[in-house]
Amino acid sequence: MTDLRRALFLLVFVAAWTAPVTAAPPPKRDEAPIRPITIVVNGEELARDPAPRIVGGRLLVPVVRIYSALGITVARAGQTLVASAPSKRITITVGSSRATVDTRAIALDSPAVEIDGATYVPLRFVADSLGAQVSYDPKGERVEVVSSIVGRTPGLEQHTPGGSTQIVGTVSAVDLNSAPESVTVTRGQSVRTIAITSDAKIVVQDVVTRTTTPATLQDVHVGDAVSVILRSDGRVDQVIARYASRAGTIAAVSSSAFVLQNGYVVTPDKGTEITLNAQPVAIADLKVGDNVTVRLNPDTGEKRQILVARVVESTPTPAGSAQITDIAVGAKGPLRAGDAFTVTLHGTPGGRASFDIGTYLTGLPVPEIQPGTYTTKYTVPEGINFSRTTIYGHLNVGASLAPRAEASQLVAVTTTKPQIVDIAPPNGQTVNNNKPSIYATYRTPTDAGIDVGKVRIEVNGLDVTAASTRTDQFITYSPGVALPDGPVTVKITIADNAGNPQTRIWTFTVRTH
């Protein structure tokens, strides 16, 4: 049974299932359970996205999700996360097997890793860092955390040594009609409405695609995780809104959930807002073939918005009204930083045209180069990533607004290098097998995918790619000749279909006597 057929089957009979279905793993790699592992913190079951995963035989848990459920604030700078718990300061670095609690160093069973925008650590680290009781029931697919670090509602304000203040929480309202505009931030029972001055810097981050985009308050959505940085005089310096996206095309719909073509099943929460072509709808109104973007809070896993786009048949435009006759996109395959694509729109002359890249970038101007023809070239900057996305065209002529047009060609952009996320034997490990199975798995932040023809493996400087098994998700190699005792260096080189390269080198030791 294929992954997609399995997902369709489970959607009909287990509508509550919310984990993505992944491709078959390489030999000897533990497979994550089809049903997501539940996390229960002090008796309260958490949202199942992100869910724990089994990687390389170890159970990994989304640490920020657990800390947030306990009222522990987590700040991030680059690859370093700092959790501020009562009487504790916990520092975690993605890619490192060492963390600190205050000044005490703690060794992790495996390095902290980032998967689909969430930071994962071994379950035991949660116990070590908090002094908590943790348990995992593999039959019941349930992780339980019991911690005494609770009993207070975390406040909104965090003070920094430089004299500034951070307001951290979830966006509960955005007011674009007031002067100045404002955003309301909620955390627990604490609520604060903050006026956003015109000189405030606003950025929106998609933690899954690792995209950071300069934005306006219009791009901040209810349900986003937000950090508002105030200067010492109380004025807003910066607004950072974060969300996690899940995008794709609907493959099947039930009365309470739908599944995307990549196997990801979406079950809306009670408060999830669903819109179809910007109009509120119910899940029953969705159809196979609709393009979907799910917007989740990366700290709580709550699904606040499901944005659905559907191509609709055009209706005759009244005489004299602005209209777009066609919109075309010139793009070749997935794009990377520095690549460009053209957008050409034909319609009523003498107007102001613009285009949107899905919901990621909006209102990009398209100048009129000759009467009725509007065209522009968009060059991909660093830090922009999105899966295959629809380009929308807009045209205003005087007071007349043309119906929105959609280009038939989808555009995908990935500027972040692919990740090599799981390796074996692990770096620094000693094995007593002189013919060990060597493998690595990899992923891209978007659906650009890996170019299998550019995947290479070297063992002790020898290219053994021809003797390996390669897919767009993993490479595995079993030596035909016994490796000598001593250190073994492995080098994996990959590139995604946009041309972004990545390399990982590690060493393990063979010791048979």
Residues 427, 492 share a domain: yes
DSSP type of residue 27: T
* CATH classification at residue 68: 3.30.457.10
315-327 pLDDT, tens per residue? 565 666 889 999 9
The pLDDT, as a whole number, for residue 65 is 85
Provide the CB-side half-sphere exposure for 241 (13 A, CA). 27
The pLDDT, as a whole number, for residue 10 is 40
Q: What are phi and psi of 246, to 5 degrees?
A: -135, 120
User: Of 297, 316, 334, which closes a domain?
Assistant: 297
**Residue 314 belongs to a domain:** no
**Residue 20 belongs to a domain:** no
**Residue 236 belongs to a domain:** yes
Residues 434, 392 share a domain: no
Residue matched to tokens 């097997």: 97
**Residue 164 belongs to a domain:** yes
Q: How many domains does the chain have?
A: 5
User: Of 146, 175, 192, which closes a domain?
Assistant: 146
Residues 494, 452 share a domain: yes
Closest C-alpha among 75, 67, 238, 246 to residue 145: 67
**Residue 195 belongs to a domain:** yes
Residues 373, 331 share a domain: yes
CA distance 158 to 164: 9
The pLDDT, as a whole number, for residue 260 is 84
Residues 449, 498 share a domain: yes
Closest C-alpha among 53, 72, 25, 307 to residue 187: 72
Residues 394, 335 share a domain: yes
Residues 402, 348 share a domain: yes
**Residue 132 belongs to a domain:** yes
**Residue 312 belongs to a domain:** no
Residues 181, 122 share a domain: no
**Residue 316 belongs to a domain:** no
* CATH classification at residue 227: 2.40.50
Residues 184, 112 share a domain: no
The per-residue b/e assignment along 210-234, b for 16 or more CB within 10 angstroms, e otherwise, is: bbbbebebebbbbbbbbbbbbeeee
User: Of 367, 395, 414, which closes a domain?
Assistant: 414
CB 280 within 8 A of CB 268: no
Which stretch of DSSP H or E encloses residue 68?
Answer: helix 63-69
The pLDDT, as a whole number, for residue 159 is 58
CA distance 274 to 286: 10
* CATH classification at residue 372: 2.60.40.10
Report, as ranges of residue numbers, the positions in the chain whose pLDDT lies below 50: 1-34, 151-153
Residues 424, 408 share a domain: no
Residues 410, 424 share a domain: no
Residues 110, 141 share a domain: yes
Domain residue limits at 457: 419-510
